[in-house]
C-alpha cells in the first residue's frame, strides 16, 4: 500500500516529505474547508503533506505551523476578485509578523500595512519595499515617524489633528514631503465582536467627518505633506459585505464633497476585516463584494486600497500542542492540561474565540468525554477550548486550527514561559522560521545588580 515516506535532512532545519503518486486507500480528508485541510494516513495526521507527529518529535511543542500554499491561495483569490478594479493589496502585518510570512507576501507583490516602527523594521528585514508600505495607527511616536520619513514609506494614515501637526513638524525638520491619507470614523456598525469593532463613534480610531474636514484643509494648506487619500477601517470578522459597501460609499461621498472644495484625492482605502470561518461563521462573500465594488469604483479615477490580515493567514496556520495531564471528574469537569497556554494563543481568553481542536494521533480505545482544553498558566482564563467531546490521552498531540492570525503575534512571556517555535511548510518541506525561545533569551534583556 503506497504511503508518504518521511525523512530528515540532517544538514538543515527542514523536515522533508517525499510525495507519492497516489494516495493510500485509507486516506481521509479531515476538514472540508480548503484552507484548513488536514489529511489522515494510517493513523497519522498530515498538515499540507507534513506529519504533525514528526514535527512534534523533531521540533517539540507548542509550535505554530503555517502553510505557504494556503496563504498564497488566499492572496491570489483576493487579488483575482478585484482584477477589474484599479486596486492594491496591503497586507496587515499585525496579523502575523514573522519576517518569512512577510517575505512570502512580498513575492506575491503585496504591499504592507503597519502600525509601529517595529513592524516597519520587519518589512525591511524581509526585503519589503518601504515605498509600498502604509503606516496606520493612532499613536505614532516621533522616532517612528522619523524612521518612516527617512526610509520613504508610501503613505501615513493620519488619525488625529495632533498627529498631523507632528508629522508636518518632523517633515519640516527632515526636509521630507510624505503622502498622507486621513482616516475617518464613519460610525458604521461592523456587526462583529465589540473588541474588534473599530468604526463606531465610541471607538478610538479615526476622526469624525466634521473634524476630518478641517484636518483635510490643514493638510492641503501645508507645504510639508501631500494629501492623497481618505481611509476607514470599521472592524474585523465581517460576514456580510454590507457594512464595507456602506463604508466605501461614505468615503466616496466625502471625497466628492472635498473635491467640491478643491481637494483632489488619489485613493480610497477601505481597510480589511473580511471574515474567515473558525466554526460556523458565514464565509465572507468576496465575489459579491468585489462585483459591488467594481460598479462603485470604476469611473471614479481613484485607486481602491485594501488591508487584509486575518483573511490571508488565519486558516493557513495551526498550533500544535501536547497533552501533559488529564484531570478527570473534578466536580464533574474534565480538564486536558496542555503545554500550550494563553500566552501562546490568547484569542480564546481575550475574545472568547472558538478554535477547532483536532486529536493528531487518537487512540481508538480512549473513550470520548467532554473536555476543557486548558494551559498551565495561573489564570482561570487560561483555556484554548471548552466542552469539546474528544478521545484524549496523556502525551497525545492536539492541533488547534485556524491559528495563523493573532496567535504568535499576540504571544507573551507571561509566567516566564518561552514563546513557541514557528514552522513554515513550502513545497512539502517544513522549515523552522523561528526557534523556540529559551529562558536565556528572556533574561538577556534584564539588568541584574551585582
Task: Please pick, among 10, 14, 155, 378, the residue that the annotation labels catalytic.
Answer: 378
Residue 330: its pLDDT value, please?
Answer: 66
- 14 catalytic? Reply is no
Residues 6+ apart with CB under 8 A from 276: 35, 237, 283, 284, 310, 311, 314, 315, 402, 405
d(CA 338, CA 374): 6
Residues of the chain above pLDDT 90, percent: 73
pLDDT digits 0-9 by tens, 282-300: 788 999 999 999 999 999 9
Provide the terminal-to-terminal Cα distance of the chain, rounded to the nearest Å.
65
Residue 187: its pLDDT value, please?
Answer: 67
Which part of the chain has CATH 3.20.20.10? 69-308
d(CA 220, CA 211): 14
Q: Which three cell numbers stand for residue 123?
A: 518589512
Residues of the chain above pLDDT 70, percent: 86
The CATH code that applies to domain 69-308 is 3.20.20.10
Which part of the chain has CATH 2.40.37.10? 5-60+315-443
pLDDT higher at 234 or 78? 78
Predicted confidence (pLDDT) at residue 82 exceeds the cutoff of 70: yes
pLDDT digits 0-9 by tens, 333-367: 899 999 999 999 999 999 899 999 999 987 766 77
The CATH code that applies to domain 5-60+315-443 is 2.40.37.10
Residues 6+ apart with CB under 8 A from 184: 206, 207, 208, 209, 212, 230, 231, 232, 250, 251, 254
pLDDT digits 0-9 by tens, 153-167: 999 999 999 999 999
235 band by pLDDT with thresholds 50, 70 and 90: confident
Q: Which three cell numbers stand for residue 20?
A: 507519492
Taking each helix axis from N to C end, the angle separating 209-221 and 242-260, rounded to the nearest 10 degrees, works out to 50
pLDDT digits 0-9 by tens, 296-314: 999 999 999 999 999 999 9
Amino acid at each position: 500500500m503506497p504511503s508518504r515516506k518521511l525523512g530528515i535532512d540532517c544538514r538543515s532545519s527542514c523536515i522533508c516529505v517525499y510525495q507519492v503518486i497516489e494516495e493510500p486507500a485509507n486516506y481521509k480528508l479531515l476538514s472540508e474547508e480548503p484552507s484548513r485541510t488536514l489529511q489522515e494516513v494510517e493513523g497519522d495526521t498530515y498538515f499540507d503533506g507534513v506529519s504533525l507527529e514528526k514535527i512534534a518529535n523533531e521540533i517539540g511543542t507548542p509550535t505554530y505551523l503555517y502553510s505557504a500554499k494556503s496563504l498564497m491561495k488566499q492572496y491570489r483569490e483576493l487579488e483575482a476578485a478585484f482584477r477589474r478594479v484599479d486596486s492594491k493589496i496591503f497586507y496587515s502585518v499585525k496579523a502575523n509578523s514573522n519576517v518569512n510570512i512577510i517575505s512570502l507576501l512580498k513575492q506575491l507583490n503585496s504591499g504592507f500595512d503597519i502600525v509601529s516602527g517595529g513592524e516597519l523594521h520587519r518589512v525591511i528585514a524581509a526585503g519589503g519595499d518601504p515605498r509600498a508600505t502604509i503606516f496606520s495607527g493612532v499613536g505614532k511616536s516621533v522616532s517612528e515617524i522619523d524612521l518612516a520619513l527617512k526610509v520613504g514609506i508610501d503613505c501615513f494614515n493620519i488619525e488625529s489633528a495632533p498627529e498631523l501637526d507632528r508629522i508636518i513638524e518632523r517633515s519640516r525638520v527632515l526636509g521630507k514631503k510624505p503622502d498622507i491619507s486621513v482616516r475617518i470614523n464613519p460610525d458604521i456598525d461592523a456587526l462583529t465582536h465589540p473588541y474588534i469593532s473599530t468604526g463606531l463613534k465610541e471607538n478610538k480610531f479615526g476622526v469624525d467627518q466634521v473634524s476630518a474636514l478641517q484636518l483635510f484643509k490643514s493638510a492641503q494648506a501645508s507645504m510639508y505633506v501631500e494629501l492623497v487619500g481618505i481611509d476607514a477601517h470599521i472592524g474585523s470578522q465581517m460576514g456580510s459585505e454590507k457594512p464595507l459597501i456602506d463604508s466605501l460609499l461614505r468615503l466616496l461621498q466625502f471625497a466628492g464633497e472635498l473635491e467640491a472644495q478643491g481637494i483632489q484625492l488619489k485613493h480610497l482605502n477601505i481597510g480589511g476585516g473580511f471574515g474567515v470561518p473558525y466554526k460556523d461563521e458565514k464565509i465572507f462573500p468576496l465575489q459579491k463584494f468585489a462585483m459591488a465594488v467594481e460598479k462603485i469604483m470604476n469611473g471614479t479615477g481613484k485607486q481602491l486600497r485594501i488591508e487584509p490580515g486575518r483573511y490571508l493567514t488565519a486558516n493557513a496556520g495551526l498550533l500544535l500542542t501536547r497533552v501533559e495531564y488529564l484531570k478527570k471528574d473534578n466536580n464533574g469537569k474534565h480538564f486536558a492540561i496542555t503545554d500550550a497556554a494563553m500566552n501562546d494563543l490568547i484569542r480564546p481568553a481575550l475574545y472568547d474565540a472558538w478554535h477547532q481542536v483536532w486529536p493528531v494521533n487518537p487512540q481508538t480505545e480512549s473513550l470520548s468525554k467532554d473536555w476543557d482544553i486548558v494551559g498551565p498558566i495561573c489564570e482561570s482564563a487560561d483555556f484554548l477550548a471548552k466542552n469539546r467531546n474528544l478521545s484524549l490521552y496523556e502525551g497525545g498531540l492536539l492541533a488547534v486550527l485556524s491559528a495563523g492570525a493573532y496567535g504568535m503575534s499576540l504571544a507573551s512571556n507571561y509566567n516566564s514561559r518561552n514563546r513557541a517555535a514557528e514552522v513554515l511548510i513550502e513545497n512539502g518541506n517544513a522549515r523552522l522560521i523561528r526557534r523556540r525561545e529559551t529562558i536565556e533569551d528572556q533574561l538577556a534583556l534584564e539588568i541584574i545588580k551585582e
